[in-house]
Chain A
Amino acid sequence: MPPSDRRIWDHPILVFERGKKVRFFFEGVEVEAYEGESVAAALYAIGIDVFSYSAKLGRPRGPFCMIGKCSSCFMIVDGVPNTRTCVELVRDGMRVERQRGLAPIPSTTPPEGAEEEVLEADVLVIGGGPAGLSAALEAASYGLDVVLVDEHFRLGGQLVKQTHKFFGSKELFGGLRGFQIAEVMSEKLSKMSNVRVLLRSVAYGVFRGGWVGIASRNKLYRVRPRAVVVASGASEQYLAFPGNDLPGVMGAGGAQTLMNEFGVRPGEKALVVGSGNVGLIVSYQLLQAGVKVVAILEIMPSIGGWFVHAAKVRRYGVPIMTSHTISAAWGSERVEGATIVKVDERFNPIPGSERDVECDLILISVGLAPDARLLAQARAVMRWVPELGGPVPLRTIDLETSVPNMYVAGDASGIEEATSAMIEGRIAALSIVSKLAEGRRGVEAAEKAKKLVDFLWNEYRTSPLLSRARRGKEKATVSHEEMEKLRREFPPAASFG
């Protein structure tokens, strides 16, 4: 049945080592995949575009974010509807069906309810990306008991799809590619006996008395940690235009997951919307994966991302069209083209400037939004900071929020990039260690934290490339005295420690 195979076998810099073959059923027909693939990636690889039909209007939908943050890839898996197939591993014999509108209630049910377990932990780290991994490693290296949870089936967060080499010193993993950094850190973590990693597990809430609930597959954990680091990352922003829900309209990060992590070509001819670093980098990666890039659109009068990245794609003849945006996507069961339009100084479309382009892939890279929902639910005091992508918790310089002993690090604290995420993760952990560890070790941790804070603000973030993020993070950072005042005025729903 599958008309094509979109798997990449030949890539200039990446080697895809595919696992053993797995056979499962899609709409009753047996299909093949490889061990370690997500259901979404495996289906996409064999040419499946439509994953479901929407609840009210029955419109076709395909995957968008590929990291478990949206609802675009919902399917019925083994009788259970609304399963996020992008974070579901393929298994032999599993049955996957398209969801058509609202699903009927599940037809198969587990015989037992979820088992419950109380976990003991000094530090709970939520999110296993660069910030969370760094926080867990740092805290664990001082002997604290750490629980690390991630909703995905593998650690690494967005590092897994980052194929470029990092800058900086060896301590900052300079010279390694993102996915290699993820491997190094995960490997280190797996050797530490005081770290427990829970994958496919969602920290679903902060509760009275300082409890945190974690929902795993058929298991419910509750934990009352002495400190929490929220390193839950970010999700991609949508853009409103007719047809934006057609299969083939995807987040830029979603496309990166497909091609860089799973080695699956996301399309043949791509239109990229947004010329920030993500848009520029993804365009280059598309070219590496053998995808034609029709154009990169930028609504602003100038390119958003760094010059080095823009120069790279230009060398391949990809036009970067400033003062342009997308006004519609069209197609029946998948994108077949888009209408693009020029805008005036006030970003209004200029009538008559519309132009149709043919493409089967539209990548949205108009920014990320911090995922700080757990902090908001715990009633951390939040502030809307445009430079950081949306609402973020206010925090002290050592990243503690107004919920006592609840810290934030990485993109959840405001969109920046992976190296600062790693530094923030370590600062948060060290600040926790300085409170929890006895005697000399605590003092040592406090000193180390101070040095990192100094490096982050007075060296790393002085780069003009990070000036916007720096401005944002300044707005979100308050003094210890201000924080005490905020806590009195806006009491949190819970506290830790």
Chain B
Amino acid sequence: MKIVIVGAGISGLFTAYSLAKMGVRDVVVLEKRYVGYGSTGRCATGIRASFTSEEHIVLMKESIRLWKEYSEGELGRYGLNFVQGGYVWLARKEETVDTFRKLVALHNSLGVPTRVIDRDELRSLVPPLNTNLVAGAMHDPMAGKSYVFTTLRALMKACRELGVRIATGTEVRKLIARGSRIVAAETSKGEVSGDIFVIAAGAGSRELLKTVGIEIPTKNIPRHILTTEPYQRAFEPLVIDWDTPGVPYIVQIIEGNFFIGRDIEEEPEQSIYSQRIDFMPKALKPIAELFPFIKAVRVLRYWIGYYVATPDNHPIYGPVNNFDNLFIATGFSGHGYMMGPVTGKIIAEWILEGRPSIPQAEKLTLDRFERGALVRELAVIG
């Protein structure tokens, strides 16, 4: 059996890895540019399970378990590193602390151990933080981070050792269908045939699926992010400035740089090479209020990546109606890096065993949009 995966981002590579681990000998990953070119190489590296839908929470908890397991095994030896440094949400307003309390109750009921913490605890978790501006905070000790490039390198190495072929510089221009089967992918370097096709092409998925008449309701939304120079470890958690519009965040990645992001209003599909002069001040000002040292730190780079967003902000997983051998893994709406391990696992199970071992994943197939069965958020906050 030959399995063709389109896209060498975190989803495509973990899918290839899981398939190979489950014994599939013939896996090929087709990537239009280079490994990590899509959203994966542009992400903030954060990993957490503190969400507000059962689907997300169950999947993310399993993903975190796998991140840990992988970091202690073969992938860990190849450089994959998971640091359980936690997430911290800051409240600038008193009312927000009440919202945090409600969230904590929900998380706890689903087995995610978040807590509301006071300023003293906050100071010990995030020493350089100016806590004068903060009314309270929520802490998720289960969350963490993993440096993208060491993770991708580890995955590439492990995949190749297991016989997976990764063809970079190979763009899939269209899928070729015969009846209810996809028979080949037409690429910039010729046709690639296969028995099973997995579309994990991130922002490129929608256009590609159109070539066989499948419409997916995703929008590619540009998200801006910058990095500073690296420094000695100053704090571990990813810190979110919850009460500031656009929700600025800062995380000191494993390599020591500070990644800082903030959502600014953007038209979907706008080019990722069109940087904006207002982004850096907008992201840095609120963060510098909270972390005064940032004013003396240099920015090294600023880039843009897409959030591939669905109407209910949950991924599109699994098989599609009309085709017997086509699977999708995209639409992560900004959370696909953390989901990588679980994505790989359930897609591989779906292909090899007919269904995923996590039943909640089955609620995330493409037909939910036709059926009007969008994912239900258990609490709407903010």
Interfacial residues, chain A to chain B (CB-CB below 8 A): 55, 79-82, 101-106, 108-110, 112-114, 116, 204-209, 211, 213, 220, 222, 377, 379, 493-494
Contact with A along B222-235 (1 / 0, CB 8 A): 00000001111010
Q: Known contacts A102-B231, A103-B232, A113-B288: does B295 contact A379 (CB below 8 Å)?
A: no
Q: Which of B275, B288, B295, B302 contacts A208 (CB 8 A)?
A: B275
Question: Is B190 located at the chain interface by the 8 A CB criterion?
Answer: no
A220/B281 in contact, CB under 8 A = yes
- A113 and B285 within 8 A (CB): yes
Contacts A102-B230, A103-B231, A105-B231: A208 and B297 contacting too (C-beta < 8 A)?
A: no
A105 to B295, CA, bound (A): 11
State whether A108 touches B296 (Cβ < 8 A). Answer: yes
Given that A102-B230, A113-B285, A116-B281 are contacting pairs, would A494 and B274 also be in contact in the complex, using a CB cutoff of 8 Å? yes
Task: Give A74's nearest chain B residue, CB to CB.
Answer: B229
B311 contact set on A, CB distance < 8 A? none
Give every chain B residue within 8 A of A102 (Cβ-Cβ). 230-232, 256
Complex interface bits, B258-300 against A, C-beta within 8 A gives 1, otherwise 0: 0000000000000101111100110011001000111111110
Contacts of B280 in A (CB 8 A): 213
Closest CB of chain A to B293's CB: distance in Å?
A: 5
A interface majority secondary structure: loop
Can you name 18 A-B residue pairings with CB atoms under 8 Å? Answer: A55-B230, A79-B296, A105-B234, A106-B293, A109-B292, A109-B293, A109-B294, A109-B295, A110-B296, A112-B295, A113-B285, A113-B288, A207-B277, A208-B275, A220-B281, A493-B271, A493-B274, A493-B275
Residue ID in chain A nearest B276 by CB atoms: A208
Residues of chain B within 8 A (CB-CB) of A113 are 284-285, 288, 295
The residue of chain A having its C-beta at the shortest distance from the C-beta of B288 within the complex is A113
| A417 CB to nearest chain B CB (Å) | 32
Q: Give Cα distance in the complex from A101 to B231, angstroms.
A: 9
User: Which residues on the B side are within 8 Å of A208 (C-beta)?
Assistant: 274-277
Shortest Cβ gap from A52 to chain B (Å): 13
In the assembled complex, B128 has its CB within 8 A of some CB on chain A: yes
- Determine which of A82, A110, A204 lies in contact with B295 in the assembled complex, contact meaning CB atoms within 8 Å: A110
Question: Distance in Å from the Cβ of A373 to the closest Cβ of chain B?
Answer: 11
The residue on B at minimum CB distance from A101 is B232
Shortest CB distance A108–B (Å): 7
In the docked arrangement, what's the CA distance between A204 and B273, Å?
15
Contact call B274/A105, Cβ cutoff below 8 A: no
CA distance A70 to B79 in the complex (A): 28
In the complex formed, the residue of B with least CB distance to A110 is: B295
**Besides A104-B231, A113-B295, 7 other CB < 8 A contacts?**
A80-B296, A82-B229, A102-B232, A103-B231, A104-B232, A204-B299, A206-B275
* Chain B residues in 8 Å Cβ range of A108: 296
Binary interface profile of B, 121-135, with partner A (CB < 8 Å = 1, else 0)?
000000010000000
Contact code string B305-338 (vs A, CB < 8 Å = 1, else 0): 0000000000000000000000000000000000
> Which residues does chain B contribute within 8 Å of A80, judged by CB atoms?
296
Contact with A along B6-24 (1 / 0, CB 8 A): 0000000000000000000
CB of A105 within 8 A of CB of B275, answer: no
**Assembly CA distance A55 to B255 (angstroms):** 11
Once A101-B232, A103-B231 are accepted as A-B contacts, the answer to whether A205 and B302 lie under 8 Å apart by CB is yes
Complex alpha-carbon distance, A112 and B288, angstroms: 10
Bound Cα distance A55, B292 (Å): 24
- Least CB distance from B104 to A in Å reads 30
Tell me, rounded to whole Å, the shortest Cβ–Cβ distance linking A147 to chain B.
16
B296/A207 in contact, CB under 8 A: no
Q: What chain B residues lie within 8 Å of A114 (beta carbons)? A: 295
Cβ of B228 to closest chain A Cβ, rounded Å: 10
What CA separation (Å) do A377 and B297 show in the bound complex?
A: 22
